[in-house]
Amino acid sequence: MAWLRDADTPSWFVSRYDDVRAVIGDPRLVRPSVSGWSFLPEEDRPDGPELITMMEMDGPRHTALRRALSGAFSARSVRRRLPRIRRSAEQLLDAFAAGGPPGDLVAGYTEPFPLRVVCESVGIPYEDRDSYLPLADAALGALLTLEEARRATPLLREYVRSLIVRKQRTPADDILSALTRRCDRGELDEESVLSFGLSMLVAGYRTTTMFLSDAVVALLTEPEQYARLRDDRGLLPGAVEEFLRYVPVMNGVVVLQATEDLELGGQTVRAGEAVFPALASANRDEAVFTEPEKLDLCRRPNPHIAFGRGPHNCIGAHLARAELSVGLEALLDRFPHLRLAEGHSPTWDDASPAKSPLTLPVSW
């Protein structure tokens, strides 16, 4: 645990597994709004609406929303969707293969696949993606482009509100329609439904996209691991958990704020101070994981904390695991000899705190 001396606001950086695990489950540490962190000076806070997702919600409204979503995101519900998830994967891979090698696997598969799954489940029109994806990415990149996030916030809210109106007029068999019916019955307020829609747009699919892309990079960087997983599908469930631990997608993008003084790692964190838990660093803590820098598809036990813990643990964890499992299995089936394209390299956004390839040229 380290004090960040040059930070704009009093801040702590937390990297050890035990400390990070304690931090993300402590109710005295709350997540500020993506577009208007409350620890900023008053003159720097936005005048417009803040981007409140499920991660920033607390109290009875948050509890009621999670209760309303529990069935839709349960393991049983996700298992029922597996055939549709597999069909989406196969359709995208067929189209990708038709273009011939080399091809960019990010653009052709690892990015659109999780988005299609979330859109179908939640009830977000996939065909609107050119409108909402740039706005969602601006909000997700708020650590680097806070002004862009603030510009995107009212536009994202307006889009989700228009979806709610559509679901009220023409309900469908999707999660957003179900929440809208609860809202009409007075069981939820509209702002809660709006927060759920924003959650799905901002992070509901993008983190899975990054995990899937990084998992493929890890496998193709060590081709023997790809072959091993291809030839022994019994390894897949454990491999998914290892990718969630191993790939550094969520390092440094979680921001928390202390609501009162508290002791952490032998240090006193004062009310109002920011705390930055590094989940990817915790997931490679050698005090918890043997040879943490090694990709071990058979790692047991594997107590990673990629999905967080406590009242804000990822409600979509079952769906994310299913997307990773189905996404990888469909890829192994369709391209048993997949490899990095010769003479081409993946490209990365080095400025982003979230690490996944922008492009991934492959051959088969």
Q: How confident is the model at residue 221 (pLDDT cuts 50, 70, 90)?
A: very high
The whole-angstrom separation of Cα 137 and Cα 179 is: 25
Determine, yes or no, domain membership for 349. no
pLDDT of residue 53: 86
Per-residue pLDDT tens digits for 254-264: 889 999 999 98
pLDDT of residue 355: 81
Determine, yes or no, domain membership for 95. yes
The whole-angstrom separation of Cα 214 and Cα 334 is: 19
Determine, yes or no, domain membership for 353. no
The whole-angstrom separation of Cα 67 and Cα 182 is: 12
What is the extent of the structural domain holding 62? 2-341
Task: Give the residue, 329 or 255, on which the prediction is more confident.
Answer: 329
pTM of the model: 0.91
| DSSP letter, residue 32 | P
Determine, yes or no, domain membership for 359. no
Share of residues in the chain with pLDDT > 70 (%): 91
pLDDT of residue 51: 77
Domains of the chain: total: 1
Per-residue pLDDT tens digits for 174-195: 999 999 999 999 999 999 999 9
pLDDT of residue 36: 53
pLDDT of residue 6: 63
Residue 340 region by backbone torsions, left for phi larger than 0, else alpha for psi between -120 and 50, else beta = beta
Determine, yes or no, domain membership for 352. no
Q: Which helix (H) or strand (E) holds 334?
A: helix 317-334
The whole-angstrom separation of Cα 206 and Cα 140 is: 9
Is the predicted pLDDT of residue 325 greater than 90, yes or no? yes
Per-residue pLDDT tens digits for 96-154: 999 999 999 999 999 999 999 999 999 999 999 999 998 888 776 654 456 777 788 88
Determine, yes or no, domain membership for 109. yes
Task: Give the residue, 69 or 9, on which the prediction is more confident.
Answer: 69
Other CB atoms within 10 A of residue 18 CB: 13
pLDDT of residue 29: 92
Per-residue pLDDT tens digits for 42-88: 555 556 677 788 888 888 999 999 999 999 999 999 999 999 999 99
Q: In Å, what is the CA distance from 115 to each residue of 109, 119, 160, 191, 284?
A: 10, 6, 16, 23, 28
Q: How confident is the model at residue 353 (pLDDT cuts 50, 70, 90)?
A: low
Q: How confident is the model at residue 17 (pLDDT cuts 50, 70, 90)?
A: very high
Nearest CA to 312 among 37, 39, 30, 60? Answer: 30
- Phi/psi for 143 (5° steps) reads -60, -30
CATH number of the domain to which 269 belongs: 1.10.630.10
pLDDT of residue 228: 97
Determine, yes or no, domain membership for 141. yes
Task: Give the residue, 98 or 355, on which the prediction is more confident.
Answer: 98
pLDDT of residue 363: 98
